[in-house]
Chains A and B, each alone.
Chain A
Amino acid sequence: MWQWFYRLGSPKWFYEMSGKWLPWLYVLMTVLMSVGIVWALLFVPQDYQQGDTIRIMYVHVPVASISLACFPLMAVAGIITLVWKMKLADMVAKCAAPIGAWFTAVALATGAIWGQPIWGTWWAWDARLTSMLIQFFLLIGVIALRSAIESPDDSARACALLAIVGAINVPIIKYSVEWWNTLHQPASNFSMDNESAFGPEIWVPLVIMIFAVYCFFVISLILSTRNEILRRERRAQWVQDIVAVEKV
């Protein structure tokens, strides 16, 4: 029953399989991203209150929601590292941290750019914005902790624990707009009706952009993890073989 699980944990198997997935992901991302961006920038109607400023949403929401996926991913990888001592899980966790930090930073930046014209301020210390800033600092903390401890096993264990603890912040970010009163508005309710608020003409391109940015995230993570695999397994025979082929 655990066979597939252990095979998934083999860096060699992951390296070979991800090499096959990547071209498909490139195609998928290019198609989704082009359709999504053109649709969002040119064909989405102006909002009745915010006008063209609404288009910032098509970058802000995908980037912000995917940045929230990062900590749960690192926490699951952390549990696998602690319990099963699987090397691949730790490699993925290590590579996810800087990518997640960038996503969080971009979410904060696009939010500020959106907030300035609409709210009248770049920043407010409300629960949503503050918890998101905490996520950014936690990710910086994970990256710093990784390089602060010299022994690879110890740093893997410490980072795994910090990731599990840090994941508690994710539901706080998600529900902050409901639990407390904030400047940030709550999540929109999808409506199937084009004659009501947040109808398909607004959310269909948003969903496309979310999938496109997810592809981008997965591609970044896979590429980064492949590098990490080659670096850590550089003494393994199969890596030597790959290097030998590349050199010829």
Chain B
Amino acid sequence: MKAHRRKKLTIIGFIATGLAVAIGLSLYALSNTIDLFFTPSQIAAGEVSDGQRIRIGGMVKEGSVEQSQDSLHVEFVATDYSHDLRVRYDGILPDLFREGQGVVVEGAVANGVFEASRVLAKHDENYMSVEVKAALDAAERDRAMPVMATEGGASGT
């Protein structure tokens, strides 16, 4: 490679590296604002003031969904498995909404409860057929079964 070409290539390399570092640092500094949602732990730590419009993300806690019989009112607990946050919502839930499912909720904290204005469903990257899901669930039940059997035996004696 000729000298002037090598020089040009080095200049381009410096510009690209410099820019990449600059952009990387600014993104790192902004990472809190780039995150789409707060977690229940961040809410519990008091990172957000009451009434501030934010999004929270978490899992719908198993057995926590209470659907009103005569209105669209629904309450559930969003959890990140270390902290819980109670969510109140009046409106139509997405089809994918169910217990154990990820959700992103828009709204604001009021007296320790999250008043939601919109609920979005978050899904994971584990695509599989109905049959595979059933087989995996069955395998999990089989693994859990012996434990329960021994526990049952222990309490019996």
Contact = CB atoms under 8 A, between A and B. Distances in A.
Given A83-B5, A180-B36, A188 B16 contact: no
Interface string A176-196: 000111110111110000111
Contacts, number: 120
Contact of A198 (B39, B123, B125): B125
B94 interface: yes
Nearest to B4: A83
Given A82-B12, A198-B127, A201-B129, A181 B120 contact: no
A49 B96 contact: yes
Contact of A84 (B5, B20, B23): B5
Given A181-B37, A196-B128, A120 B136 contact: no
A183 B104 contact: yes
Interface of B: 5, 8-9, 12, 15-16, 19-20, 23, 27, 31, 34-37, 39, 57, 93-96, 104, 118-133, 135-136
Contacts of B131: 45
State the majority secondary structure of interface residues on A: loop
A46 B120 contact: no
A120 B129 contact: no
Contacts of B120: 119-121, 124, 183
Contact of A164 (B12, B37, B57, B127): B12
A221 interface: no
24 contacts: A48-B128, A48-B132, A49-B96, A50-B127, A79-B12, A83-B8, A117-B95, A118-B95, A118-B123, A119-B94, A119-B122, A127-B36, A164-B15, A164-B16, A165-B19, A168-B16, A179-B31, A181-B57, A183-B36, A195-B132, A196-B136, A197-B126, A198-B126, A202-B129
Interface of A: 45-50, 54, 57, 79, 82-84, 117-121, 124-127, 161, 164-165, 168, 172, 179-183, 185-189, 194-199, 201-202
